[in-house]
Amino acid sequence: MSSILTNHSSMVALQTLKQINNDLGKVQSEVATGLRVSTAADDSSSWSIASTMKSDVATFSKLSEGLTSASAMVGVARAAAEQISEILVQIQEKVVQGQDPSADTGKLDAEITEMINTIDSIADAAQFNGVNLVGTGAANVNVTVAIQRDAAGALTDDTFAVTATVLNGVAAGVSTASTTDAIDTLLDTVNAAAATFGAAQARIDAQNSFLGKQVDALTTGVGALVDADMEAASARLTALQTQQQLGTQALAIANQAPQTILSLFK
């Protein structure tokens, strides 16, 4: 039965064209943004997981900057300890030289005093952004090396303490009258501090290196969740554009159907 009030073919063609236009809009958005999931409405589960991972990436990136700074801070203390160790070796040489009965101990003691002053100067100058691990009043420093997320989503900071060692004044009172064993004891103290700083710096650098790989992995994971497959989007876009043209033609034909009823009254 034909009706001039209800055009079923036109309604079907219109609904089909609306669906095609809706799908086309989504694909065009994917092509324009590069994202398959850009809002929670697109895929709430993937969007939620990706948002959490993006938050972790941002957090870890800032943590990496902090670790780079911490490594430099500890590196300054390590370099100072190593330099002080070298000066103590030179002082030990002067002490041994002073044991020669013909040595000018006055001049040797003057040289030793200047070396001791240099040690104190290096220790007090070995600061990074106001933090000094070997100077007067040096204190331990806590460094955050990781931020862990548990299954419930709670975050926990993983920290460790970098042990400070005051090296200012470490050679106070040393002279040609000192024993080589006394100087050797001072060397052990300084070398132990340098080794501690070196181990701490190595740990920080290793953690920072892993953090970079972790950020890369998370970024890849986010992409897998929300990025659009551009090859598939391109093919889908072409197909939908063709369907849109055909749907428009089908609707136009359906809209002309009632006009054929006029021929019945001629």
| CB 64 within 8 Å of CB 215 | yes
Question: Residue 251's pLDDT is what?
Answer: 85
Ramachandran class of 137: left when φ > 0, alpha when ψ lies in -120 to 50, beta otherwise = left
Question: Residue 250's pLDDT is what?
Answer: 86
Q: What is the pLDDT along the chain (266 residues), one digit of tens a residue?
A: 566 666 778 888 889 999 999 999 888 988 999 999 999 999 999 999 999 999 999 999 999 999 999 999 999 999 999 999 999 999 999 999 999 999 999 999 999 999 999 999 999 999 999 999 999 999 999 999 999 999 898 999 999 999 999 999 999 999 999 999 999 999 999 999 999 999 999 999 999 999 999 999 999 999 999 999 999 999 999 999 999 999 899 888 888 877 776 666 66
Give residue for tokens 């609306």: 18
Residue extents of the structural domains in the chain: 1-34+228-266, 56-212
Question: Residue 4's pLDDT is what?
Answer: 64
Fold of 56-212: f41 fragment of flagellin, N-terminal domain (1.20.1330)
Q: Which candidate, 222, 202, 227, 190, places its Cα nearest to that of 71?
A: 202
Question: Residue 114's pLDDT is what?
Answer: 96
Question: Residue 3's pLDDT is what?
Answer: 66
Distances (CA, A) of 142 to 49, 60, 228, 243, 266: 32, 18, 43, 63, 97
Phi, psi of 146 (to 5 degrees): -160, 155
Sign of the alpha-carbon dihedral angle for 229, 230, 231, 232: positive
Sign of the alpha-carbon dihedral angle for 25, 31, 36, 37: negative
Beta-strand relationship, 127-128 and 131-132: antiparallel
Question: Residue 254's pLDDT is what?
Answer: 81
Question: Residue 215's pLDDT is what?
Answer: 96
CA distance 258 to 56: 61
DSSP state, residue 111: H
| CB 159 within 8 Å of CB 143 | yes
Question: Residue 100's pLDDT is what?
Answer: 93
